[in-house]
Chains A and B, each alone.
Chain A
Amino acid sequence: MLNADPILALLSRALDAAALRQTVHATNVANVDTEGYRRLEVIYSAELQRLQAGGQAVDVNEAMAWAEAEPEVVESSETRVRLDQEMAQMAENAVRYQALIGAIERTLSTLRYAARDGREG
């Protein structure tokens, strides 16, 4: 939706991924007593995970290319739902989500500032 600005596009995709994570954690928590339920998790393609694990510096163009990757919901290798772990990850993800919202707000206000030729108000 926010495709006019590349930074906003990147942020909104990251926000989508965080929303998907919240959805998956909440679903795991709801199914803690479900018979035969296998824990779900969000993953990115193998290529992207390799890059994330490497931890090396990337340039802006590469980071932009990452934004094109689609997150998928898969069954986790650890099948049992652990309530405490799930809640901890949910809390961490919520902080990340709010940070992204903050970043989007700041980007929008920069654009707004530019649109007014740098005039305040």
Chain B
Amino acid sequence: MSMFGVLEVSSAGMDVQQARLEVAASNIANARTTQQNGGVYKPLTVVVRSAIAAAQGPAGTPTTVENLPMPSVAEVVEMNVAPKLVYEPGHPDADERGMVSLPGVDPVSSMLDLVSISRGYEANLRAFDITRSLLQRTLELGRNR
């Protein structure tokens, strides 16, 4: 039985939070992007799957220290949200009625995402730290005298 493997899982967890941060930042930065690949910018979201859980198939396969579920970013997908219509007749992308389609980015939920990302990252970092210090303590067993 070993605790070393879990350090990798914790750092995979940090990678996932990093990817979520990039996507959240992109959504906030593109809140007013009206032209991208011929259409209005579509907000993105991250799909996280666990590598081993997927390979295991049916539920109930026993989890052991040897096959810990390792999270990873499976894909970044466009969210299925309708664009917001805003009346801005002077905008170059306005239609004949003066309405502009802005991306359906919800600023409040984007900010909440940032909070949860930062909490998730910190928790993984803390878990990594605790595991490391426990391993360190164990390696020092019997060292004194």
Binds A, one of B2-10, B32-40, B79-87, B88-96: B2-10
Interface residues of B in 105-145 (CB under 8 A from A): 119-120, 123-124, 126-128, 130-131, 133-134, 137-138, 141-142, 144-145
A interface residue count range (under 10 / 10 to 19 / 20 to 34 / 35 or more): 35 or more
Cβ of B44 within 8 Å of any chain A Cβ, yes or no, is: no
- Give the number of residues in B that approach A within 8 Å (Cβ atoms): 45
Q: Contact between B69 and A34 (Cβ–Cβ < 8 Å)?
A: yes
Residues of B in contact with A (beta carbons under 8 Å apart)? 1-3, 5-6, 9-10, 12-13, 16-17, 20, 46-50, 53, 59, 62-65, 68-71, 74, 119-120, 123-124, 126-128, 130-131, 133-134, 137-138, 141-142, 144-145
Residues of A in contact with B (beta carbons under 8 Å apart)? 15-16, 19-20, 22-23, 25-27, 29-38, 40, 72-75, 83, 86-87, 90-91, 94, 97-98, 101, 104-105, 108-109, 112
